[in-house]
Chain A
Amino acid sequence: MNSLQTCSSPTLRTNGRTLLLLLACVVLAGILSLSLGPVSLSPGEVLSALAGRGDEASLPIVLHFRLPRTCGCLLAGMALAVSGAIIQSVLANPLAAPNIIGVNAGAGLSVALCCALAPAAVAWVPVAAFGGALAGVLLVLAIARSTGASRLTLVLAGVAVSSVFSAGIDAVVTFFPDSLNGYSDFRIGGLSNLTMARLAPAAWLILAALLAALTLAPELDVLALGEDTARSLGLPATRYRLLLLALAAALAGAAVSFAGLLGFVGLIVPHMMRRLLGEEGRPLLAGCALGGAALLTFCDTLARILFSPYELSVGIVLSLGGGPFFLWLLLRQRGGRLV
């Protein structure tokens, strides 16, 4: 083993330990999510119910209410955090995130249109969300490229695109009031009333996009070195930039299709993981998947138990906790100069 391999090993070991710790957090968050709520269940009761041997009270609670919701939280958290990490790396912009540059809002508008115009086509909702998210990300990318935009201009363009899409969602809901069940939940982000049937198409899309993103992580690393360097290393930069942004759109779109317009996960989790794991693609994306899943699931459990039997939308808890946390992160990092 030469000295380069030797000095890479401690980093790999530290990253491995961090990822194992994050996996433990995901398991813990999952168990808490299945156990806690208006009716508290012991881990033993949860396990029995999952094995189909629970009593009459716990069985439907776990299988019909909490399991779809927990799976939804894990998947949406994974998808949004990984989507944010990809978008930030590809656009070389630490302020970019699916909810900031119009990706979530684009997906939201498509979901609203799909539910209004074809209410029976439930399976197509994630595909429509992907289309809307992709339109959002490509629009912002086109604005950035045509104007040679700075990082700040890119974010401002994203905010403008996001506002236009959000106005579109409001217009659709005004004309078709029944199109989005639990409209406020959708706007803030929430995972109540989720069923496995509604979750399944988005889940497959998320898992496939996640696998593709992890496979393309080395390309993401090379793209982060800048266009000229990436191309001089033999990477067709434009093609891979579009491919990776399409994956980010698929992840964010699929999450929005069942969880609504959740903010902050796609922004703060990649920042947290960069500090914990560095910026090398594979550990970073794996860390974002685990960290996002754990954070969203934990916040959703909090949203359920904080004012039980009343329930908050998970988006409220995320914003209340995530906002101050991100401000703290901004102020700590490089004396407040993140960009």
Chain B
Amino acid sequence: MIELKELRAGYPGRTVLEGVTLSFLPGQVLALVGPNGSGKSTLLRTALGLLPRQGGEILVDGEALETLTPRQLARRAAYLAQSRPVPNITAGRMVLHGRFPYLSYPRRYRPEDYQAAQQAMKLADALELAGRPMPQLSGGQRQKVYLAMALAQDTQTVLLDEPTTYLDVSHQLEVMAAAQTLAQQGKAVVAVLHDLCLAMRWAHRLAVLDGGRLQAVGSPEELYSHGVLNRTFSVTLRRVETQAGWRYYYQ
């Protein structure tokens, strides 16, 4: 579990996030939502130490982030970055990179690494892509492979920065279903999402960021009643009850 306490973060000479206190709880999918530039990606990158924080505290499984080595941290939290280069290697080899934190010299993969990579590809619905070179895959297929690489890290916390970008609707639903499966396995899953309806349908909790400040955290029902999403996104959120529960749409 990762806990952020009064976090202040940003870039040299520019503070993006201010006073954010938030926990990534095991067994839950947390959706980070907010307008462009509200600090969602900055929050994920700072939580993993990829950006230096300007103030506050970050705890990973109760330990201060700065006391962990990069390797220790990589075994506790995986990250799907927004920038995803496409090297000319097969999808299978790409997913195996997710086992890097577990390899010692001379960095040869062990049977358990192949096993973990295969399971991750199955979960991300990318197993049939294993032998195909990355440049030959579509944007959506590449996305699945990157997701599988993050899952192959086999960590308790999984941070996904825009995991549904480039995906068509059915693949978006598959990714969110995979996120819920991970949560059911007891992992803490955090996803930056732009699609508010997708976030309201699949996340256990939503954290709403605006102007670098955390506006609200709560379940979809709580946030709907609160009206914070209407104010933040300047939309009118509505819902209808279906047999599968509430479904949300906006006007």
Residues of chain A having any CB pair with chain B under 8 Å: 2-5, 7-8, 10-11, 92, 215, 218, 221-222, 224-229, 231-236, 274, 278-280
Contact = CB atoms under 8 A, between A and B. Distances in A.
Contact of B107 (A10, A218, A236, A279): A218
Contacts of B50: 227-228, 231-232
A278 B111 CA distance: 24
Contacts of B127: 3
A233 B85 contact: no
Interface residues of B, number: 46
A234 B74 contact: yes
A235 B100 contact: yes
A4 B81 contact: no
A234 B69 CA distance: 8
Given A3-B130, A4-B121, A229-B81, A234 B73 contact: yes
Contact of A280 (B69, B85, B93, B98): B93
A11 B90 contact: yes
B88 A279 contact: yes
A222 B115 CA distance: 20
Interface of B: 45, 48-50, 69-75, 77-79, 81-85, 87-90, 92-93, 95-98, 100-101, 103, 105-107, 111, 114-115, 117-118, 121, 127, 130-131, 133, 153
B79 A2 contact: no
A92 B85 contact: yes
15 contacts: A2-B111, A4-B96, A4-B118, A7-B130, A215-B106, A218-B100, A222-B100, A228-B50, A228-B81, A228-B82, A229-B79, A233-B101, A234-B74, A235-B100, A278-B90
Given A8-B131, A228-B79, A280-B93, 12 more contacts: A4-B92, A7-B130, A8-B92, A8-B93, A218-B100, A222-B100, A228-B82, A233-B97, A234-B70, A234-B72, A234-B100, A279-B89
